[in-house]
Amino acid sequence: MKEKQTILLKISGEFFKDNETIINNTKLIEIANQIKVLTKTYNIGVVIGGGNIIRGGTSTLKNVARTTADQMGMIATLINSLALRDQLRSMNVKVDLYSLIPIPTIARVYNINEMKNHLANNHVIIFAGGTGNPFFSTDSGIALRALETDAKAILMAKNGVDGVYSADPRKVKNAKRYDKLTYLQALKENLQVMDLTALSLLKDSGVTVQIFNADEDKCFIKALTNKIKSTKMTK
């Protein structure tokens, strides 16, 4: 039997939010359904942001230190990850949740060898807690996990944007859109696609990052079959 390739899915926390709830059940089920379909072909790792709850370093809380705000953001990713884990379990998908912040009564303490064994045995792996350190985003976290798992690709679902632009296309009418670009190009042109640490980690790797609109129905499945508008970033 041919060995499955590993892909990592990056989902923003804001994707789960609506005007009334922090985690919309319909959106949660929709993502879980896509993951279940993809497990037939790929080994799947998932990283979820926490922006639907708090955005860490960009928090506007006046008397909360940056380090504390980032810790709050990391815990927010754990909340979203717990919701996705239980949704997948309810659909009979084998899934393990690892937290880079050690909370052993809630999630598995991160262990690379154990994680890779579960991944190879068709368990969906959810990575919570970013890198486990303040001052680093979930972009850096997923870049590290991609290198550790020898992932073929990172699929990044962005809210309301169908790829990488020279500026926010919702604010700048003539912003240039990229179908393809390199990590070095993104670094040199200061494109806001991933944080600088993540781009630096990936620039010499064989990992492809594909960026597309999270609002598109079945966006991850369509991205993998090139049935959705996207930007591909490589070395």
Identify the sign of the CA torsion 91, 86, 16, 111.
negative
137 carries a ligand binding annotation: yes
The CB-side HSE value for 75 (13 A sphere, CA atoms) comes to 8
11 carries a ligand binding annotation: yes
166 carries a ligand binding annotation: no
165 carries a ligand binding annotation: yes
204 carries a ligand binding annotation: no
41 carries a ligand binding annotation: no
96 carries a ligand binding annotation: no
212 carries a ligand binding annotation: no
58 carries a ligand binding annotation: no
57 carries a ligand binding annotation: no
Residue 92 falls in which region: left (phi positive, over 0), alpha (psi -120 to 50) or beta: left
127 carries a ligand binding annotation: no
134 carries a ligand binding annotation: yes
27 carries a ligand binding annotation: no
Distance (Å, whole) CA 106 – CA 117: 20
Helix (H) or strand (E) holding 2: none
Distance (Å, whole) CA 81 – CA 76: 9
68 carries a ligand binding annotation: no
45 carries a ligand binding annotation: no
150 carries a ligand binding annotation: no
| The Cα angle at residue 198 between residues 205 and 3, in degrees rounded to 5 | 45
200 carries a ligand binding annotation: no
52 carries a ligand binding annotation: no
Binding residues for ATP: 10-13, 51, 55, 159, 165, 168
Q: Which residues are annotated as a binding site?
A: 10-13, 50-51, 55, 70, 131-138, 159, 165, 168
Sequence ranges of the binding site for UMP: 50, 70, 131-138
